[in-house]
Amino acid sequence: MIKIHLLVICGPTAVGKSDLAVKIAGLFGGEIISADSRQVYKGLDIGTGKITTAEMQGIPHHLLDIAEPSERLTAIDWKQHAEKIIPEIIARGNLPIICGGTGFYITTLIDDLGFPDVEADTDEQKELEAKSVDELFMELKKVDPARSSTIEPKNKRRLARAIIIARKLGAVPPVTKSVESKCDALMIGLNLEPELLKGRIRARLIQRLDSGMIEEARKLHDSGLSFERMDELGLEYRYLSYFLKGEIDREELIDRLAPKIWQYAKRQMTWFKKDARIKWFESKDFEAIKKLTQDKFRK
């Protein structure tokens, strides 16, 4: 099997992954593929911290703005897009750089994960999603008790999908992993001391609010993005929907959302720390990161 050589830059939110990816891409002739489950959506810019054109510094970026926010793009959808783009980058003589904090996306690609072959976005799914999360959870518990014990109980889409799979296959099977991955990846993880990261998360949230995050959310809603969908998108957009509905004020938004983003960052680290292939650094360790990358991808 011919291996695909690529670089992965991963880690929790707010550690500087995008800046590092741009620097490395500039030195090694790279093109960046975003691995962020919300930056794939058009219009979710300030709230997700999507890299700006100026910040890209001329480096090609891929898999940003590839779906409408009212749509739902899955990990397998993202993997299929990435698998199309990576050979094109390599054909140009450039280095594919996967950069992001959605660990499941990255693992799905690197380990070539397989999923149950059951049609998605069916009428059955829409009917199920019209029900409450509590109703869906009880239904899943009835058709597949094992899956109900591991699923996120408030994620309506995942609950509906699990019910459909269980109805068709008898139970939700485990995700399969290829015996041998097609990818030869150097995986670099960025992290920061917990208290520093927590402070950076809060400061960045305030900066985004000052930069128009509320106006962005209001524009999205006025353009047809429902409060229910904003809630599904989670974190910033969930709490922005609460603000727009008048349920919380700006200070309460900050005080409630900052700890939620911090909890999300901890969950990201829990995911990534399970992967022994990842070599960990802080952003100040740039010279060490550069040397490691040079040793791996020296032309």
Q: Is the model's pTM score more than 0.75?
A: yes
Q: Which helix (H) or strand (E) holds 31?
A: strand 30-34
Q: Which helix (H) or strand (E) holds 258?
A: helix 250-273
pLDDT at residue 146 in the model: 86
Show the tokens assigned to 133.
């999360």
Q: Is 253 exposed, middle or buried (0-12, 13-18, 19+ CB in 10 A)?
A: buried
pLDDT by residue for the chain (299 residues), tens only, comes to 578 899 999 999 999 999 999 999 999 999 999 999 999 999 999 999 999 999 999 999 999 999 999 998 888 899 999 999 999 999 999 999 999 999 999 999 999 887 776 776 678 888 888 888 899 999 999 888 888 888 878 788 888 888 988 887 777 767 666 556 788 999 999 999 999 999 999 999 999 999 999 999 999 999 999 999 999 899 999 999 999 999 999 999 999 999 999 999 999 999 999 999 999 999 899 999 999 999 998 75
d(CA 191, CA 17): 9
What does the H/E/C string look like for 206-243?
Answer: HHHHHCCHHHHHHHHHHCCCCHHHHHHHCHHHHHHHHH
Residue entry with tokens 């002739």:
29
Show the tokens assigned to 233.
């998108």
Q: Report whether 9 contacts 17 (CB < 8 A).
A: yes
Interior/surface letters 255-289, b for 16+ CB within 10 angstroms, e for the rest: eebbeebbebbeebbebbeebeebeebbbeeeeeb
Length in residues, the chain: 299
Residue entry with tokens 């995700």:
175
pLDDT at residue 247 in the model: 98
d(CA 243, CA 46): 16
Other Cβ atoms closer than 10 A to 291: 11
SS3 category, 5:
strand
pLDDT at residue 28 in the model: 95
> ∠ CA 102-107-109 to the nearest 5 degrees?
105
pLDDT at residue 171 in the model: 74
Residue entry with tokens 């397989």:
114
DSSP-assigned beta bridge partners for residue 32: 61, 97
Show the tokens assigned to 166.
């269980």
d(CA 113, CA 178): 6
